[in-house]
Structure 1
Amino acid sequence: MTNPQTKYDSPWKEILQLYFQDFMLFFFPQFHAQIDWSKEPVFLDKELQQVIRDAELGKRLVDKLVKIYLLDGTESWILIHIEVQGQEEDEFSRRMYVYNYRIFDCYNRSVVSIAILGDANSDWRPHQFGYNLFGCRLDFQFPIVKLIDYRQRFEELEASSNPFATLVMAHLIGLETGDNRTQRKQRKIALIRGLYEKGFEREKVVNLFRLIDWMLTLPLELEREFWREYREYEESKDMRYVTSVERIGIEQGIEQGIKQGTKQGLIKGIALGLQLKFGDSGTNLLPEIEEIGDVDVLSAVLDAIAFVETIEQLRQVYQSNA
């Protein structure tokens, strides 16, 4: 079964690694200017997990350890530890310090720890850990970015071609529409349209779509409406990214169904997959699929949606397993 924490992390991990230079330029332009980008950054995910495997983990979205090179040559390379924190945590500053010194102890290299804070409390801004006792003083400070600070800069975000401007907009929309999913659907489709209007190439549209879709989840009926509107928009632009993006949606339905592991969860995932793959004609299968009581057969149907080409082929899957 898919690890929920892994799936929660993966879109952030993917987008940060794909567009790390854009990440530094958007959030930390002063640091970006000091990095030698002619040398490829090296991501040390496995090494980071080994360093912190016995540390208490907070409610974070993702952390990354990156090896980069400096332009001025003062050090051949340094490490940047990036923490993306989703919620308030009392011990966050202490944990940042613990990770920092453990990484330093492991590599004997300068370590820059930075934090992206995604919570909704404007007053929570941890940036320092330390103490002063008997003449022994520790003062560990680290730079932070508070995503809700961008609320007053939305027009600037809309005008930016940096992928992390899109990420911040999706995050803010998610916070603002938690109690209004209809508005979330409307703003989600507007955000997707913005990807096309900015002239992004196909790969970037699909990558950013994955993140937006993950951040701005919708109830099933609104999800169907969103996909109908999306297909209409894409057809009007004569852009055929839809096959790749529909596959993402189908995979999302499969993941949701597997994660829940119940008949109801599997049926919900199948319903979403049928709508995305075959449209309204696909949902005509639901009454007979709902009669299936074996969750293993339902799982087989859910898995098959992404690969079959016709409704009849899908029907054969559950008839042969009956």
Structure 2
Amino acid sequence: MIPQTIYGNFHYYYDIGGGETLVKFPIVKLFDYQSRLDELESNNNPFAIITIAHLKTKATISNLTEREQWKWILIRGLYERGLTKEQIVKLFKIIDTMMTLSKHLQAALIIKIKNLEEERKMPLISPTEQMAMERGEERGIQQGGERLIIRLLNRRFGVIPASLTEKIHQLSIEQLELLGEALFDFSTITNLDQWLENRT
């Protein structure tokens, strides 16, 4: 028999072969804990920390400065709860992913985290390592774009001068995309030189 779910009462009833199973689900609304932050802060249960992060993420949608302050309080508090390193790292990643910040505020937070890492001699994995990985991925994408653009230009005009190649290496990913579109309009190597001169 197909399981029956009584949504109004949040019960789950299953009847098959003469056997019956009834499960009652308690209702929990995270928003109800908004007035119980003191209780959550004193609770070492990992879900208490995640609940605070969720509530403060919702409450600071239009105030990222306040969100950065709460994010720092939560991260710093991980060390004061008697958690293991593994627990700290896992909760840290959840908080970091949930409570997103602008690049400026995230950079300021990272400085605080680095100082905390040095003080506690217990380095975390994110966001410092994560940002380093992102920079590496971005650089890989940029290098791939540079190689493709140079190959296309070499096929169109022959081997281009090293001075122009060096200018291409100085372009950002966004500028490389623009150059990829513009190069089809170039009729001479001088057009490329002028285009690069205007942007570098």
Compute the TM-score of the two structures, normalised by the length of structure 2: 0.58
**Which residue number in structure 2 is paired with residue 190 of structure 1?**
73
1:151–1:172 contact (8 Å) kept in structure 2: yes
Higher strand share: 1
CA distance in 2, matches of 1:189, 1:205: 14
SS at match of 1:110: strand
**Which residue number in structure 2 is paired with residue 110 of structure 1?**
21
1:210–1:248 contact (8 Å) kept in structure 2: no
Offset of residue 214 of structure 1: 2.2
SS at match of 1:218: coil
Give the share of equivalent positions with the same residue, in percent. Answer: 35
SS at match of 1:112: strand
Which deviations, in whole Å up to 9, do the C-alpha atoms of 1:207-257 show, x marking residues without a partner? 11121122211122222222222112221222222xx22477349969xx9
Match of 1:214 among 78, 97, 113: 97
1:96–1:113 contact (8 Å) kept in structure 2: yes
2:64–2:101 contact (8 Å) kept in structure 1: yes
1:204 and 2:87 matched: yes
CA distance in 1, matches of 2:59, 2:9: 29
Offset of residue 292 of structure 1: 2.9
The structure with the largest alpha-carbon Rg is: 2
**Which residue number in structure 2 is paired with residue 9 of structure 1?**
none
1:292 and 2:172 matched: no
Which runs of structure 2 are paired with 1:67-86 in the superposition (5 Å)?
Answer: none
Q: CA RMSD in A?
A: 3.8
1:245 and 2:126 matched: yes
CA distance in 1, matches of 2:42, 2:86: 20
2:53–2:99 contact (8 Å) kept in structure 1: yes
**Which residue number in structure 1 is paired with residue 181 of structure 2?**
none
CA 1:94 to 1:240, structure 2 compared with 1: closer, same or farther past 3 Å? same
1:154 and 2:25 matched: no
CA 1:253 to 1:156, structure 2 compared with 1: closer, same or farther past 3 Å? farther
Alignment gaps of 5+ in structure 1: 1-50, 53-80, 82-91, 115-142, 258-262, 264-284, 295-322
Residue identity in the other structure for 2:175: E
Residue identity in the other structure for 1:291: Q
SS at match of 1:291: helix
Residue identity in the other structure for 2:28: V
2:31–2:55 contact (8 Å) kept in structure 1: yes
Which runs of structure 2 are paired with 1:29-40 in the superposition (5 Å)?
Answer: none
**Which residue number in structure 2 is paired with residue 93 of structure 1?**
7
Count of aligned pairs: 144
CA 1:253 to 1:154, structure 2 compared with 1: closer, same or farther past 3 Å? farther
2:110–2:128 contact (8 Å) kept in structure 1: no
Compute the TM-score of the two structures, normalised by the length of structure 1: 0.38
